[in-house]
Amino acid sequence: MKTFATALTCLVMSICYAQDIDITLELFASGFSNPVNMKHAGDDRFFVVERSGIIKILNADGTTNTVPFIDINDRVTNAGGEEGLLAVAFHPNYNDNGYFYVNYIDNSGDTVISRFTRNSTTTADPSSELVLLNVSQPSFNHNGGDLHFGNDGYLYISLGDGGFGGDPQNHGQRLNSLLGKILRIDVDGNSAGNYGIPADNPFVGIAEALDEIWAYGLRNTWKFSFDRDTHDLWSADVGQNLIEEINKVPSTSNGGENYGWKCFEGSDVFQTSTDCNGITHETPIAEYAHNFGRCSISGGYVYRGTMQEALEGYYIFADFCTDEIGYVKENTSGGYDLEFILDTAGEGFSGFGEDVDGELFVMCLFTGNIYRIVQDVLSVDDVSLNEIKMFPNPAKNVLSFDVSSSNLQLGSVNIHDTQGKLVLQHDNFENQQTTISTASLTTGMYIVEIKASNGTKTIQKLVIQ
């Protein structure tokens, strides 16, 4: 059973954010340096990417191998901003061929997509690098930087618009640039150097368009993922000054979607130049404004695990600036609801991980912590809210309780302020309906812990006028 402090925190957050689920974070591992990506390779381990150029193995028991899986710090620039080793992805046949792929910024400041080969179950060979793709970067920021294999076996790559403010070279809309795009390549083909082009890529054979492009009009996709059940692609695009957006590409898509940047920032017009007249673009399925300090989205995953039933089908994401975690969920009208459900401080949520069983984890850039995301339930023994009635609410000088609809006897009532301090206690109940004085309480919100005589309990909020 959770402690009252944990339950109180959970309840206060639900009051502040008015959502239909609660989550909490359980510390799973610590001691990492600027973690930005974590993937599994088909077993119960995580491979955690540190921005400096190191990948470490995180075991299922929360321990980290002392010897890194690979160290390519010598070829990675990590001078700050958004550079560094940014992502890893494992070949669908990794168990057989030992191939994995990385996305990093090299010492020239450019994006490199490379393949490496493991030399044991716990280490890889830094000298085995095969460069697949090298993309010139005009600036140090907006590098995108994620990698995932789709259900089709192709490697998807996110690249930002190349940096500066407002995409001055219009990379997002230009189809002769790989920047501001999601790419799709065949790592098992060799028709274009060290990779092939899937024949059904949307711009194959089109003049002035690059064959690798799958989707465009993106500013800086900071993490994308595939729903392991539906295979839809979810991407989180960092906005300029106004809006953070979440896009969803259905698994039935043939590619070629334009997400509007820099003509649009989210659903708002960003620029009205001639190039933007009449473009057809996809609007985000969800977005949020730069209110309350929010300013940079970190994309996550749709929850498809088995341990947190309340989270099933929720897309979980974070805002890097406010250390808030939120969700997007399709509603009964066919639209999508977005809510923030957890607020922390000082962590710097840089990305999420999905383990082999579909459980979700979140990484913290500033603290180096990795947390498991779990649904927050007060207790399996809690009394139904319908069995103990508390009224009136709001209250002034008196508060009444009624348990006549159940076979329970009221045991005690503890009233706490929102900081958890016990401010009023009553434990002498003899009748099915009873009243206590709240005249000593000042105006404000309180948390009421109501216990039955058999030890079960419920926790409710109370407003004193």
SS3 label, residue 12: helix
The domain boundary residue, chosen from 337, 353, 375: 375
Same structural domain, 417 and 302 = no
Please report whether residue 405 resides in a domain: yes
Please report whether residue 247 resides in a domain: yes
* pLDDT at residue 309 in the model: 87
CATH number, residue 263: 2.120.10.30
The domain boundary residue, chosen from 313, 341, 375: 375
Same structural domain, 350 and 416 = no
pLDDT in tens, the chain (465 residues): 344 444 454 444 443 443 457 899 999 999 999 999 999 999 999 999 999 999 999 999 999 999 999 999 999 998 766 899 999 999 999 999 999 999 999 999 999 999 999 999 999 999 999 999 999 999 999 999 999 999 999 999 999 999 989 999 999 999 999 999 999 999 998 755 689 999 999 999 999 999 999 999 999 999 999 999 999 999 999 999 999 999 999 999 999 999 999 999 999 999 988 789 889 999 999 999 999 999 999 999 999 999 898 899 999 999 999 999 999 999 999 999 999 999 988 999 999 999 999 999 999 999 999 999 998 754 434 445 456 778 888 888 999 888 776 667 788 888 887 656 788 988 877 766 688 999 999 988 788 888 877 766 777 778 888
Please report whether residue 235 resides in a domain: yes
* pLDDT at residue 401 in the model: 83
Q: Which strand (E) or helix (H) includes residue 111?
A: strand 111-118
Residue 130 pairs in a beta bridge with: 115
E strand residue ranges, 336-382: 336-343, 349-354, 360-364, 370-375
Overall domain count for the chain: 2
Please report whether residue 9 resides in a domain: no
Same structural domain, 369 and 396 = no
* pLDDT at residue 418 in the model: 64
Same structural domain, 87 and 229 = yes
Same structural domain, 398 and 304 = no
Please report whether residue 338 resides in a domain: yes
* pLDDT at residue 451 in the model: 81
Other beta carbons less than 10 A from residue 393's beta carbon: 15
* pLDDT at residue 13 in the model: 42
Q: Which strand (E) or helix (H) includes residue 88?
A: strand 85-90
SS3 label, residue 94: helix
Same structural domain, 49 and 186 = yes
Peptide bond into 198 cis (omega under 30): no
Q: Which residues contact 7 (CB under 8 A, 6 or more apart)?
A: 378, 379, 459
This prediction has a pTM of 0.79
> To 5 degrees, how large is the angle CA 413–CA 388–CA 421?
30
Chain Cα centroid distance, residue 461:
29
Please report whether residue 432 resides in a domain: yes
Structure tokens at 370: 């990795």
The position carrying tokens 């058999």 is: 454
The answer to whether the CB of 113 falls within 8 A of the CB of 103 is yes
* pLDDT at residue 17 in the model: 41
State the residue range of the domain holding 410: 389-464
Structure tokens at 274: 């001639």
Same structural domain, 409 and 354 = no
The whole-angstrom separation of Cα 377 and Cα 356 is 24
Taking alpha carbons only, the member of 257, 281, 181 closest to residue 224 is 181
The whole-angstrom separation of Cα 395 and Cα 443 is 10
Same structural domain, 358 and 450 = no
Please report whether residue 8 resides in a domain: no
The answer to whether the CB of 288 falls within 8 A of the CB of 243 is yes
Structure tokens at 372: 């498991």
Please report whether residue 273 resides in a domain: yes
Q: For residue 406, give Cα distances in angstroms to 11, 44, 448.
A: 24, 46, 19
Same structural domain, 298 and 437 = no
Same structural domain, 140 and 280 = yes
